[in-house]
Homo-oligomer: A and B are copies of this chain.
Amino acid sequence: MKEIKIGLLGFGTIGAGVVKLLASNSALLTEKTGTRISLKSIVDLDITTDRGVNTEGIILTRTAEEVLTDPEISVIIELIGGYEPARSFVLKAISHGKHVVTANKALLAVHGEEIYAAAKANGVEVLFEAAVGGGIPVLSAIKGNLAGNRFSTVLGIVNGTCNYILTRMTHDGADFSEVLKSAQELGYAEADPTFDIEGVDTAHKLCLLLSLCFGTKIDLKDIYSEGITSISSEDVDFAKSFGYRIKLLAIGKMDDGQIEARVHPTMIPIDYPLADVHGVFNAIRLTGDFIGPVMFYGRGAGMDATASAVVGDVIDLSRSMGAGISRRCAPLGYLDEKVSTLTIKPMGEIVSKYYIRFQALDRPGVLARIAGALGASGISIASMLQSARSASEVVPIVIMTHEARESDMRRALAEIDTYEVIRGKSTFIRIEDNLE
């Protein structure tokens, strides 16, 4: 029987999941691929800690070099994470003719172009289903069966930490910092949660989704990214009263040859399937010119679900290698030479509906001034809510706008914030409620 030998870089949680899956479903993999898929070597700095999985017969080593150059190994699974040494290891593996499977969105979002070029030059594949949405097979679908479509929109809830926090804030009425703390205790948020809660991780994933959907290089710096740290329980409650939920969305849209690429808290109608994606679950919703809207939902993280995606990529490679070919599909699903460099629309030019919350003294004429300033910037009001009255204290005024240009909206807010009846900086949340 044909045999494919694998080298695994990084023996953390997901690495242990991969070891477990390859062992427990070994016979199944052979029934499906006709090849024996065996893990030959694992590279990690820590080769002594027990990960609770059987490593009998597997070489554990601290030295990546011997694995990256091992002529018996044809597939390298990279689960180290981060930029270095992951980048150097991946490039070395490729230069030695090895296929690469990785879950490393940060690496590909920043160094993808270099890695894809190396893969092309060496005739190998780079697969990364596990990098977006954990176990959800959305990238394979975009590259594969949905590839006949021109996509117009991709929306994703792709960060479990943020979605867990927002879900708890919505269901329990709790405050951000309170929920973050309990998420950290439960292991749903890192000790340093910056990457997740500031939207950086989501931006990395959006970068990959955009590359696949639109066949384009994306400069990560061009993706507008705003986290969930400024969402208050007050905003969550107001959202509810208008029939919305707040989600951190990765948003990509094709607009006249330009791409919208943005990550920010977003209000979506309560009856959208995306609004029902709770806790650490992820979902990605695409719209294609033929498929229409299509949504994928599942576990966005975790040892087992992510291992499913990693091994799924290995199965894909095994079938091609079993049939005698080394490279069947380029990393982005487009021929490498057809990958374009589309422009990302400046954030000021996007058009959206907005939820705006002002903190104002409850004086006669305040609303008229706010409405006047919005109107002067061409922003029309869809609805308005002033929830409590209090002559001496600051009250929230909430305004839902019709579609407006972001730059107009920001200019109006900057002006309004100078009024002496306005206290503190006004906040706003973009609304997506016009999906096909």
Contact = CB atoms under 8 A, between A and B. Distances in A.
Interface of A: 17, 21, 24-25, 28-29, 31-32, 34, 129, 135-137, 140-141, 144-150, 215, 271, 273, 276, 288-299, 302, 304-305, 307-309, 311-316, 319-320, 323-325, 327-329, 333-335, 338
Contacts of A129: 145
Nearest to A327: B323
B140 A144 contact: yes
A150 B25 CA distance: 8
11 contacts: A31-B338, A32-B215, A32-B334, A32-B335, A137-B146, A147-B312, A148-B312, A291-B298, A292-B299, A319-B328, A320-B323
A307 B290 contact: yes
Given A145-B140, A304-B290, A328 B323 contact: yes
A273 to B, nearest CB: 6
A148 B314 CA distance: 9
Contacts of A325: 320, 323-325
Given A135-B291, A145-B308, A291-B308, 10 more contacts: A28-B150, A32-B338, A141-B141, A144-B312, A148-B312, A291-B309, A294-B299, A295-B296, A297-B297, A320-B323
A309 to B, nearest CB: 6
Given A141-B141, A273-B297, A295-B297, A308 B323 contact: no
A299 B293 contact: yes
Contacts of A319: 328-329
A329 B129 CA distance: 20
Contacts of A144: 137, 140, 144, 312, 315-316
Contacts of A338: 31-32
Contact of A294 (B17, B297, B335): B297
A132 to B, nearest CB: 12
A148 to B, nearest CB: 4
Most chain B Cβ neighbours within 10 Å, of A31, A145, A297: A145
A309 B319 CA distance: 21
Given A312-B144, A329-B319, A292 B298 contact: yes
A328 B144 CA distance: 14
A193 B236 CA distance: 46
Contact of A288 (B147, B271, B308): B308
Contact of A32 (B17, B24, B147): B147
Most chain B Cβ neighbours within 10 Å, of A290, A292, A314: A290
A335 B34 CA distance: 7
B316 A145 contact: yes
Nearest to A134: B291
B135 A308 contact: no
Contacts of A307: 148, 290
A162 to B, nearest CB: 19
Given A147-B32, A291-B308, A320 B313 contact: no
Contacts of A292: 135, 298-299, 302, 304-305
Contacts of A290: 17, 21, 25, 135, 304-305, 307-308, 311
A148 B29 contact: yes
